Structure 1
């Protein structure tokens, strides 16, 4: 089996990931009264209300907006899977669904239990079954660095120094609130992962949290604040996941330079590449510098883990893309790079519709189903990018090779078949660029046409002895592929695979 055939057989490589906050994705059944699931001080809001920042509640050690809910659940999510599938996603990624006090669920009360607002373990199994029937995979969010302050085991440990749970946490007067908490957030006491019993419970044990949910049908884990778990414990967790389900995905939320984090995890959320793309698209990073950065990152990290790594432009922790890049040409340029650079594009629910939203909690607004229309330009563009990626093998599993340029960003995605080749050129600047580019691919035939994938009706370009003359307007894009089967029956590619 060739390298590329093996990559293609691995669902994790180049997958399109769709991210959902269950509470905010699909409105609950109107005939079901859910108010009892949100006792005060929690509030159940109307679907058309926008989240706004609230005051700090010292008695709970959290913010008012962390306990405002919109009522989405796993059953309502299952009813909207047509949208996810028709968009072309391969993976559904859910933010935490385990039992927790807040709406975001990053403050687990019990990692094994499901939050009743979302449903039951049977609902998880039913969702996984339905996704698999549709040819999709399910990835869950694992929050294994900390728990919520209201977790029963933490309260028992806090109240009694002789509690069997005492050494599951770090207590001491040197810590604000009396316990070591993640980034000093007193509602998030950190777990003592150095205690083998904690790791046994979370991932090492045969009935651990990681293993049980994989047996329930999940296909992988996205690990919250994975960098805080460290290399050794991440390696243990990843091995446990692979032992339970060979081919499972473990992707870490690691904003650091990624190269040294493999194979402790299979993949990372590629924050460095995201930052390069956004700065480039905003005009804050010059194309030649961005190209050198990308080339170094791919070289240092290696193509294999990067193909599995999630490349997001926005998510539940960042302002939405349409807010960060309000100008459509710049936003489109960023999205085109997201779908053509090595990685697994991660789409945050609603951003495919052009939803806006600034800092927390504005970026976590309920899904705008009224924007799911065929005349929505943002949705049209996302669908076009998804279709191109699905049609061109190199964009999913291909190698990366930079083009030799002066003012443009340019690269090539290629496989063992020349017909898969895609050339990508972008002009992030404010002036038109006319440039001659060197394409260092010996299998691309001289004087043969390169077709415009984004605008098929535009005249093709022709290379002359590996040199390509291109003209790009400000924020212009070119995606080119060789015409290997031209009309007339003669192909210069007849003996080149």
Structure 2
């Protein structure tokens, strides 16, 4: 409904203060503006606490001018973490109007509704605590699928597995196929291992990487290893526990920390614990109800019918709240969690966090922090993690007791939609502001900002506008490569998104080989081998250059974020550190960075920027490597096709003190 006479904007601190998510017990001011000189009705706000009742609060007249009336109410966040939801009720000339969130539920400017209750605005209420450690929040993550990264130990495959095959050529295409008689999957391997990662540590260091996130590396029958066979052993094809310890030590000496992938919602059927295939000497749950592991699983008809992950019989689900399972994974003196932290890991990424109970995640984090206060816990969550509902439960990931960070798939989607022309600058602004508004501040500034992963098509394939995966049979998907003109366009787009990723709040994450120009549709084609010696050096050099800039300038890592332009083909923002304190209240150089991005592949654009408000008079254009001057209140800045600009000014200590 047309709502020109009623206005509320949750992004604007005048209408809602403080902005965004709030700590428990915070006082919140809400304002509603009515532009009607003859208005003589009333305004109220209805506030609902998640899981509790709704309160109807009459609003007071805060400001009365000839053409405008502003109504105000104060509410208090509860003592415990959770969610508040609100909308406004306006009574005018005997009629009742509702003003609530917009139809896309992105926050910001709302909409007027009549005859039905509107979508509500969200306020996330969290338990305040310290931010994630500095090594993480200022880091660069590099995700490695170990079998496909580099084959160390002279390139010889280690400890061949039963029922698998090894590719003769590193350049082969990954493939899944089933045994013609049994129907069982036969997994292919390439021979990458932890020794190979050790040998390539100098490459990662040169690129500016400070964190390695491994896909699962524990013993299992598969190449992906999401079907764990033994949580306490490195898979023999990848190395040994001792090799892992040495890798952690060498990486740490080079300023690189290691995060492991924890798969705790299910095990493999071919495991010590379930032992369906009888490959382990221990008595597994499938073999006997007397097995110590039997209580971990849910059998409907023992032994053949049991609960399994998404119906996949090789992935039997576990009961995470079973005391003996929690003791084994979390609480015991030699628990999986404690063991690997002691071996040198600095944190965990929880696979399919939606499948894990909140109590399990909270317990995991508590013990992890007791073992190493500087360790981090990341969750695999595909949507806005602040309001995720799974299996009918509102998930408490970001409320203060669970995750330090989440995989930021919404960020990936937002950037792709913008650069491919599916959403304009304003819609992009709304989507990013929605995350900023819903996430606690420290979470927004430490999300794992990814463009690629093992679960999505390679970013270069997406940016080259490859045919839809569903339109091609599997053999054609495996053979598909971007045409030269498609690849050129994709590379230009990826360079633009890399600049965005490395200058935006959060912890950038690079999926191995994306920086080298790897292509491929979804699993298994997104899990090819790193093309050593055949990299796209234009991309490799660009990634190294932009990561180096992020690592050099504090303002790009921990400066506050302010959108400054969001129209059509252009998106722009500023990062700022003022008063010698960064976003995390740490001492830092004052600094300003201005980032402008033009997605148009053919046309240059001229962008008016309010430099008088945001920028010092002298800045450096880091990509053009030249000084620039901004001497007016507004400056027209020209961007070429698919060009990004990065201007930075950091004060030196002498300037700050003088």
TM-score, normalised relative to structure 1:
0.88
TM-aligned CA deviation for residue 318 of structure 1: 1.5
1:348 partnered with 2:475: no
Instruction: After superposing the two structures, state which structure 1 stretch, 419-428 or 126-135, moved more.
Output: 419-428
2:343 is aligned, of 213, 216, 225, to 216
Partner of 2:439: 301
C-alpha separation in 2, matches of 1:60 and 1:121: 33
1:82-139 CA-to-partner distances (Å, cap 9, x unmatched) read 1111111011111111111101111001111221112211111111111111111111
Partner of 1:25: 149
TM-aligned CA deviation for residue 29 of structure 1: 2.5
Partner of 2:226: 106
1:462 partnered with 2:584: no
1:367 is aligned, of 527, 530, 548, to 530
1:409 partnered with 2:409: no
1:261 partnered with 2:430: no
Q: Residue 112 and residue 393 in structure 1: after superposition, are their counterparts in 2 closer, same or farther (change >3 A)?
A: same
1:163 partnered with 2:326: no
Gaps of 5+ in 2: 1-129, 277-283, 387-395, 465-488, 581-588
Partner of 1:233: 360
TM-aligned CA deviation for residue 419 of structure 1: 4.4
1:131 partnered with 2:255: no
TM-aligned CA deviation for residue 33 of structure 1: 6.4
C-alpha separation in 2, matches of 1:451 and 1:174: 69
TM-aligned CA deviation for residue 342 of structure 1: 0.9
1:391 is aligned, of 532, 549, 552, to 552
Contact 2:320 2:357 in 1 (8 A): no
Q: What is the SS of the residue equivalent to 1:378?
A: helix
Contact 1:404 1:438 in 2 (8 A): no
C-alpha separation in 2, matches of 1:31 and 1:88: 26
1:481 partnered with 2:617: no
Partner of 1:422: 593
1:248 is aligned, of 375, 389, 403, to 375
C-alpha separation in 1, matches of 2:412 and 2:155: 42
Contact 1:62 1:187 in 2 (8 A): no
Gaps of 5+ in 1: 1-5, 486-490
Contact 1:170 1:190 in 2 (8 A): yes
Instruction: Give runs of aligned pairs for residues 1-400 of structure 1, distance below 5 A.
Output: 10-30=134-154, 32=156, 34=158, 37-57=159-179, 63-64=185-186, 67-154=187-274, 155=276, 156-172=284-300, 178-259=305-386, 260-262=396-398, 263=400, 264-326=402-464, 327=489, 328-371=491-534, 376-400=537-561
C-alpha separation in 2, matches of 1:246 and 1:483: 32
1:158-209 CA-to-partner distances (Å, cap 9, x unmatched) read 233443322201222699x722222222211111112121111111222110
Larger Rg: 2
Partner of 1:3: none
Contact 2:406 2:447 in 1 (8 A): yes
TM-score, normalised relative to structure 2:
0.68
Instruction: After superposing the two structures, state which structure 1 stretch, 82-91 or 291-300, moved more.
Output: 291-300
Q: Residue 359 and residue 217 in structure 1: after superposition, are their counterparts in 2 closer, same or farther (change >3 A)?
A: same
Instruction: Give runs of aligned pairs for residues 439-454 of structure 1, distance below 5 A.
Output: 439=611, 441=613, 444-445=615-616, 448-454=617-623
C-alpha separation in 2, matches of 1:163 and 1:53: 36
Q: What is the SS of the residue equivalent to 1:92?
A: strand
Contact 2:133 2:374 in 1 (8 A): no
Q: Residue 349 and residue 494 in structure 1: after superposition, are their counterparts in 2 closer, same or farther (change >3 A)?
A: closer
TM-aligned CA deviation for residue 435 of structure 1: 2.7
C-alpha separation in 1, matches of 2:609 and 2:417: 23
Partner of 1:488: none
C-alpha separation in 2, matches of 1:90 and 1:274: 21
Q: Using CA pairs under 8 Å that are at least 6 residues apart, name the structure with larger relative contact order, 1 or 2.
A: 1
Q: Residue 267 and residue 58 in structure 1: after superposition, are their counterparts in 2 closer, same or farther (change >3 A)?
A: farther
Higher helix share: 1
C-alpha separation in 2, matches of 1:494 and 1:83: 36
Runs of 4 or more, structure 1, over 4 Å off, are 6-9, 57-62, 439-442, 493-497
Q: Residue 366 and residue 47 in structure 1: after superposition, are their counterparts in 2 closer, same or farther (change >3 A)?
A: farther
Q: What is the SS of the residue equivalent to 1:234?
A: helix
Q: What is the SS of the residue equivalent to 2:313?
A: coil
Contact 1:255 1:269 in 2 (8 A): yes
Q: What is the SS of the residue equivalent to 1:236?
A: helix
